[in-house]
Structure 1
Amino acid sequence: MAMLERAAVTGDDLVKLLHEVNDCAHVGETAIVSTCNRVEVYAVVDKFHGGVSGISELLSRHSGIPLDDLSRHLYVHYEDRAVQHAFAVACGLESMVVGEGQILGQLRQAFRLAQEHGTLGRELHDVLQQALRVGKRAHHETGIDKAGASLVSVGLEVATAHLGPLDRVRALVVGAGSMSGLAVATLGRAGAREIVVANRTFERAARLADSAASPARAVELSALDAELAAADLIVSCTGATGLVLTADRLAARGAGADGRRRFLLDLALPHDIDPAVRRLDGVELAGLDDLRTAQEAAEAIGPEAVEAVRRIVRDEVAVFLGAARAAAVAPTVVALRSKAAEVVEAELSRLTGRLPELDDRARKEITQTVRRVVDKLLHAPTVRVKELASAPGGDTYADALRELFDLDPKAPEAVARADFRSEARDVGDGAPTEREGGAR
């Protein structure tokens, strides 16, 4: 986890890394997922080893971790395995707490960020967008949500074991992001005695406090010390790069000396709360490390739901890859038909010049006959090549068509680009996709 903290990227650093990876040699498309327990780079590369090497070096430079040390903690998936991994991540199968739904929103944010900054192309767009759809399907059709609660829910269950029912506690939530919002909502449903939201931007804290089902109020971050003394439960999840709460700061507000029990839940990465607070009497701290065992518990609760989601992922991956391979040959088929149409038109024009005495009726019959002959000759091979292309190695059939009919390589590429521009205009609130990615 310490290694992950150092590798985590947020805000402007995330945008900078996104552009640097996309500008890296051998990389054509990029999206980055950076959450509390994962940093993953999805990329379309023209050379696997060159792409992995370049991305690894950039991660090393951004994190300050020597490449040799960092490499031991990296994992790499390629082609089919990259697609399978992306789908599994979207379903919550790779989360610290199996089935947690936060990852769908985080994946969508990564997609939109890449889209906004122009690092998303056809392949990555398709993979990530389909991953979001698969994630939604898994949560809708199975009990995966029950198999694994969110990090916040698990953390608050641990807090309940230490403090007792949450309807008796005064809770202080530091930060106003998505995790803090989930904490406020969960505490509200549990009937917390009072909820205080502290944030650097008071307006965001106020909006979050207004949404709570329990009595809640907002304070500016500068008023944090005044709230620490009264809080029984402190949940912290900010984007700070340094510690927000230290043992000395808590001790100055009575923690460890006033005989009260306190529970601190640190959901931030890097950590917001100094682990030294555990030395204070009556103070318990749970961080992301402490929630890892919740994953095993979740799998024990819902093994059938987990297996159902795994089946969905396997089926969806097979369908997606088959469709992707078939779609890859489509531009070549379109280019072939386009070339055939050009040949037909050229020959018909030549015929008109040689036989100017043909009347309109005869010319029309000849034109329709020639076009039907060409269509019938091309129909069987083009249908068959699409069927064959859906199987592994199907891209070789497109290569064969291009070679046999001497197609200009730029023609299929132009068809593919035009098709993607058309599809991109139709994309709404979906999310991401891709056929060849390196998930790290």
Structure 2
Amino acid sequence: MSSILVVGLSHRSAPVTLLERAAVSGDRLDKLLHDVQQVTNVDGVVVVSTCNRIEVYADVEKFHAGVSSISELLSRHSDVPLEELSKHLYVHYEERAVQHIFSVACGLDSMVVGEGQILGQLRTALKVAQANDTVDRALNELVQQALRVGKRARNETGIDRAGASLVSVGLSRAGSLEGRRALVVGAGSMSGLAVATLARAGIGEIVIANRTYERGAHLARSAEVPARAIELSDLRQAMAEADIVVSCTGATGLVITPDMIDGPAFLLDLALPHDVDPAVRALPGVTLVALSDLRDADDAPAAGDIEAVRRIVCEEVQAFQLGLIAATVAPTVVALRSKAAEVVDAELGRLGGRLPGLDDKAREEIAQTVRRVVDKLLHAPTVRVKELAASPGGDTYTEALRELFDLDPKTPEAVIRAEDVL
């Protein structure tokens, strides 16, 4: 039977510079998914790659082989030597893996605790895995449940009250935005959040520069304040006119360099790899806030909210684990009841042959009585085996049930395969 494995690195385990090198997206992400999927004893894989984490969620049959293979593939696809990468990797397995994924969905593991973007990022990771046909039933159910847990945490607590996203926390360091001019570089989901956050803060005008002009124009039309799009080739002139610059592109190289800045400016770099050359910090009147600067943001939710979310995670992990246990017991219970039904049908058929004069009403009454007796006899052991399955060594009780009732080992396996098809 396979188990959930998490292998990854994040802002908690690695410096931003290493996260930038390890980040994968586009074709590289697709290739990583397929290569992990091809590893022996890996049944499914989902990869979460964001600005502050890259994590591989895999359904594996062997722990050590899974960790070794996934680590090597992460190194190969990120071009970070395995010896260097291994120092920053963390591994979670089985129940701890489920707890980690639920905590990530709730924002407990985010650079800014409680930020809500991670839910969208998890949803995107699942869709990408589905599109590449690398997600199996177990992983699909796990990530779907993680999304539900994340929503529950935000509905029942104030975990996202203080800092809804990296954007809001970063922009809070720019002071008042009222009536000022902003330049947003990029037109992806993070840029969309930046535009919405700037508008709510009372920004006077927004200019959006993007490699694809149409996408920039589409984002500008959705803004609730005056906004317009420009070609990326006009970025230098737009920089000179902006008070605030938010850059979050998917570029692999630098987008903004010191020679492009003329005068005081506030720059928020939310890209990974970073868009803005750190050398701009040396320019007079220039403030640069990058992802690494947000690592220890003070805009954190109250301790009470964090503790409440942790309790939710613990509850949900326990419920999920019990569900897994019930799922492993169910095929054996179904096989037992199926065998009992076959015995009842055979005996009723034999009785009919011996007593051909029975009328239909009497025959039906006898059949119902026999079935009720069998159901009552089976009820206690089947309920009890489900309860005992959750205890240490619980799988032995299921095996004992199969042995005591002489169940064909292939019958429960057939039930499992049928469930997978459904």
Shared fold, TM over 0.5 = yes
SS in 1 for 2:241: coil
Match of 2:276 among 263, 273, 277: 273
Match of 1:102 among 93, 117, 121: 117
1:241 equivalenced with 2:252 (yes/no): yes
What displacement does 1:106 show?
A: 0.7
SS in 2 for 1:31: strand
Q: Aligned partners of 1:106, 1:403: CA distance in 2, in Å?
A: 46
Moved more, 108-117 or 81-90: 108-117
What displacement does 1:54 show?
A: 0.7
SS in 2 for 1:17: helix
What displacement does 1:370 show?
A: 2.8
What displacement does 1:336 show?
A: 1.2
Q: Aligned partners of 1:79, 1:237: CA distance in 2, in Å?
A: 35
Whether the aligned pair in 2 keeps the contact of 1:199 and 1:221 (CA below 8 Å) is: yes
Look up the match of 1:211: 222
| Structure 1 residues 355-434: aligned runs within 5 Å | 356=356, 358-422=358-422
What displacement does 1:145 show?
A: 1.1
1:307 equivalenced with 2:307 (yes/no): yes
| Structure 1 residues 114-125: aligned runs within 5 Å | 114-125=129-140
Superposed CA offset, 1:52-99 (max 9, x none): 111111001001111121111100011111111111111100000000
SS in 1 for 2:161: helix
Q: Aligned partners of 1:368, 1:92: CA distance in 2, in Å?
A: 54
What is the one-letter code of the residue matched to 1:379? Answer: H
Superposed CA offset, 1:225-250 (max 9, x none): 231221121111111111111223x1
Q: Aligned partners of 1:46, 1:20: CA distance in 2, in Å?
A: 16
Match of 1:262 among 254, 261, 265: 265
SS in 2 for 1:77: strand
Q: Aligned partners of 1:198, 1:119: CA distance in 2, in Å?
A: 35
What is the one-letter code of the residue matched to 2:419? Answer: D
Whether the aligned pair in 1 keeps the contact of 2:169 and 2:299 (CA below 8 Å) is: no
From the superposition, tell whether residues 239 and 28 of structure 1 become closer, same or farther in structure 2 (CA, over 3 Å). Answer: same
What is the one-letter code of the residue matched to 1:153? Answer: S
What displacement does 1:392 show?
A: 4.9
From the superposition, tell whether residues 83 and 158 of structure 1 become closer, same or farther in structure 2 (CA, over 3 Å). Answer: same
Whether the aligned pair in 1 keeps the contact of 2:113 and 2:159 (CA below 8 Å) is: yes
Look up the match of 1:27: 42
Whether the aligned pair in 2 keeps the contact of 1:323 and 1:390 (CA below 8 Å) is: no
Moved more, 280-289 or 348-357: 348-357
Look up the match of 1:196: 207
What is the one-letter code of the residue matched to 2:142? Answer: V
1:180 equivalenced with 2:191 (yes/no): yes
Look up the match of 1:171: 182
TM-score with structure 1 setting the length = 0.88
Q: Aligned partners of 2:392, 2:320: CA distance in 1, in Å?
A: 12
1:92 equivalenced with 2:107 (yes/no): yes
SS in 2 for 1:76: strand
Q: Aligned partners of 1:410, 1:111: CA distance in 2, in Å?
A: 32
Whether the aligned pair in 2 keeps the contact of 1:326 and 1:394 (CA below 8 Å) is: no
From the superposition, tell whether residues 411 and 119 of structure 1 become closer, same or farther in structure 2 (CA, over 3 Å). Answer: farther
Superposed CA offset, 1:385-407 (max 9, x none): 12222445433322222233233
Moved more, 313-322 or 176-185: 313-322
| Structure 1 residues 8-23: aligned runs within 5 Å | 8-23=23-38
SS in 2 for 1:49: helix
Q: Aligned partners of 2:63, 2:56: CA distance in 1, in Å?
A: 14
Q: Aligned partners of 1:404, 1:111: CA distance in 2, in Å?
A: 42
Match of 1:6 among 13, 17, 21: 21
Look up the match of 1:290: 293
1:342 equivalenced with 2:342 (yes/no): yes
Superposed CA offset, 1:126-153 (max 9, x none): 2211111111111111111124331001
Look up the match of 1:229: 240
Higher relative contact order (CA 8 A, sep 6+): 1
What is the one-letter code of the residue matched to 1:222? Answer: S
Q: Aligned partners of 2:70, 2:398: CA distance in 1, in Å?
A: 31
Whether the aligned pair in 1 keeps the contact of 2:33 and 2:46 (CA below 8 Å) is: yes
What displacement does 1:412 show?
A: 2.2
From the superposition, tell whether residues 40 and 311 of structure 1 become closer, same or farther in structure 2 (CA, over 3 Å). Answer: same
Match of 2:147 among 132, 145, 153: 132
